[in-house]
Amino acid sequence: MARYVIGIDVSTTASKALVIDADGTVIASKSHPHELSTPRPLWSEQDPENWWQASAASLRDVLQQVPAEEIAAIGLTGQMHGLTTLDKDGQSLRPAILWNDQRSGKQCEEITAKIGAKRLYQLIGSILLPGFTAPKVLWIKQNEPEIYRKIAHILLPKDYVRYRLSGAFAADVADASGLALMDIGKRTWSDELLEAYGIPREWLPELCESPDICAYVSEEAAAITGLKAGTPIVGGAGDQPAAMVGMGIVEMGKASLAIGTSGVAHAISDRYAPEPDGRLHTFCGPMAGTWFHMGVMLSAAGGLRWLHDALTPDEGYDEINRQAESVPPGSLGLVFAPYLTGERNPHPDPYARGAFVGFTLRHGLPHMIRATMEGISFGMRDQFELLRGLGVNPVEAVVTGGATNSAVWLKLTTDIMGIPLYTINTNEGSAFGAAILAAVGAGMHASVPEACRQMVRKVDTTEPDPATAAEYEKLYAIFRDLYPALKETYHALAHFEGL
């Protein structure tokens, strides 16, 4: 009897295969790395064959520990927005253009002007950004016409691995939302957008819901991976909606803070209601009849890593935490603007920069460390305020990522948010969410919320201190004034650099 499911995560850095049972216990996990290419400034590419080889190797590894006959289903997740172009024979035409590739700014401007910013935002649930998929197609049309003429299929990264596993051209609506070719409210491809881009409908994969079975492992893929031919493959989800599932954020009123290299806040909704000013992404959710709101800050824990590497490279993070703990809340009036790589939400500005504001002779490295932690957490608070503006008012939230490894950072984040923050029983992230979706598709659980209630469990909860939270509320008001006050300076500096 099939007792296990597999989640495959095709991330930017590696392909990972994760095996879990019906209770969410991790049975096996293995990953193999990807190579990243940056052939020109602003470009970011990968060879799709690398994804497949790494995924196949990871599958072979975990299937040394679990019999293939006991795998009930497979779920897929991975980096969103990447463009994979295939010819009529299913062969890759060029390296995939990734989510962090910035070459298509001009094409974003063209399409936004053609459709109208308000209408486009209502359709795709987001301001059109160079990271999205569709502008990259237009870039190929304008810059690589010989490639464009040969395109027969467009796939996202994880869906390319699905194609290699099964021969099927399919995508779930949660990940496909990031192509910027869907009518998100209707959960289908938009004829209006396809016409505007000049993209034929037959290039696009068939859409499905995240827990639904949409493909089966082929004989050819079975021979390569060790899987059993005919093993069902569910739709899965992009890395962000899959991470939501993996954190149990699948019911109204729940929210999450993921403070990794970047920072992401998530919440689920039972209606399509984009943030009015375009300061959040609203995409199809990983369950039928749901949507999710997502706020992104581009530099979160990556900002603390920058401070460590630049100023204290010989110190361990335990010492970094000790120094932060020696400083009172508010860092004696030193405030950090965490926009080291530009910003996305709530300030969609590639020219935004980092800044320390408020230096005096009293301040030293410990104050800079704590102010950096506080500034990052204030940036995450910005995401929460956008969610609250849409009526999402969680009484608590799950927190994952770098902040959970630091008691002082976790505590100050809790005080800044003003609500309890809790950790969960797994750090497997998106792969865990993909495996949960596979478990639902295989019939191990009746629904995604029911599966999450059984598989995702609270571990520790940190409560806010009312007095400290009140002090941070005052400082947060000052933090919110930083970007408007410095915006013209940021842009002047970018102009000085020739950007």
The percent of residues in the chain predicted with pLDDT above 70, rounded, is 100
- Which pLDDT band holds residue 41 (cuts at 50, 70, 90)? confident
Is 23 designated active site? no
- Which pLDDT band holds residue 298 (cuts at 50, 70, 90)? confident
Cross-strand pairs, 401: 259
Provide the residue type at 168 as one letter: A
172-188 b/e (C-beta count within 10 Å ≥ 16 → b)? bbbbbbbbbbbbbbebe
Cross-strand pairs, 87: none
Look at residue 448 in the predicted model and tell me its pLDDT: 97
* pLDDT (average), residues 466-485: 98
Question: What angle, rounded to 10 degrees, do the helices at 317-325 and 407-417 form?
Answer: 50
Look at residue 261 in the predicted model and tell me its pLDDT: 85
As a whole number of angstroms, the distance between CA 88 and CA 16 comes to 29
Say if residue 1's pLDDT is above 90.
Answer: no
Q: Where are the domains of the chain?
A: 4-236, 249-424+465-499
Element (H, E) at 219: helix 219-225
CATH level 3 topology of 249-424+465-499 = Nucleotidyltransferase; domain 5 (3.30.420)
Q: Measuring CA to CA, which residue among 403, 178, 209 is closest to residue 294?
A: 178
* pLDDT (average), residues 25-29: 96
- Which pLDDT band holds residue 427 (cuts at 50, 70, 90)? confident
Say if residue 412's pLDDT is above 80.
Answer: yes
DSSP 8-state secondary structure symbol assigned to residue 69: G
Provide the residue type at 108 as one letter: C
Burial level of 480, CB count in 10 A (0-12/13-18/19+)? middle
Q: Measuring CA to CA, which residue among 400, 319, 422, 411 is closest to residue 374?
A: 411
* pLDDT (average), residues 24-42: 94
* pLDDT (average), residues 160-171: 98
- Which pLDDT band holds residue 350 (cuts at 50, 70, 90)? confident
Q: What are phi and psi of 20, to 5 degrees?
A: -130, 165
As a whole number of angstroms, the distance between CA 26 and CA 23 comes to 9
Of the candidates 239, 270, 318, 349, the residue annotated as catalytic is 239
Cβ-proximal residues to 253 (8 Å cutoff; 6+ apart), any chain = 392, 393, 394, 395
The CATH number that domain 4-236 falls under is: 3.30.420.40
Look at residue 90 in the predicted model and tell me its pLDDT: 97
Burial level of 331, CB count in 10 A (0-12/13-18/19+)? buried
Mean of all residue pLDDT scores within the chain: 95
Say if residue 156's pLDDT is above 80.
Answer: yes
Fold agreement (4-236, 249-424+465-499): yes
* pLDDT (average), residues 52-72: 98
